[in-house]
Amino acid sequence: MTEAAATPSLGETLGQQRVIAMEGGRAAIEYLCGPHMCHSGGVAQGGFVCGWIDAAMAHAAMSEPGGLETTPMSLELKVSFFAPARPGLVVAEGWIERRGRSTCFAEGRLLDSAGQVLAKGTSTIRLMPRAQVEAAARRAVE
């Protein structure tokens, strides 16, 4: 088995189950919060919560016209936690509040299976040309 095959993807690491929606500046992604993502008391570690919301906001940016030719790069991320995320299915939603040529402002939230809001987030996102980001990544590993 090659090293690349043994390394889980970002989606696998975050427990991504499926992209529910990704259209018109909005996205929703379902994740499975596993016990291995939790600390004491069976509460999801905050980094996973941030990652789920961040990914939904990035998908929202990519869902807009020309979005698949860009790589959304988080310049700033703020997350407020309202209730603990626990093992089971959660849904991260993201939407674009305002978009410019190279920057957009996004909001997102995380819901449990009952629809309770567990956390909310905001992000400032830089929209980088995908080819430029991929070329820089190739140079970094050479």
- pLDDT tens by residue, the chain, 142 residues: 455 568 899 999 999 999 999 999 999 999 999 999 999 899 999 999 999 999 999 999 999 988 889 999 999 999 999 999 999 999 999 999 999 999 999 999 999 999 999 999 999 999 999 999 999 998 998 8
Q: What is the pTM of this model?
A: 0.92
Closest alpha carbon to 80 in 40, 114, 53, 115: 53
Domains detected in the chain: 9-141 (3.10.129.10)
Token look-up 């996973």 returns 48
Structure letter (DSSP) for residue 66:
T
Question: How far is the C-alpha of 75 from the C-alpha of 64, rounded, in Å?
Answer: 19
Chain-centroid distance of CA 101 in Å reads: 21
Q: Ramachandran region of residue 34, left (φ > 0), alpha (ψ -120 to 50) or beta? A: beta
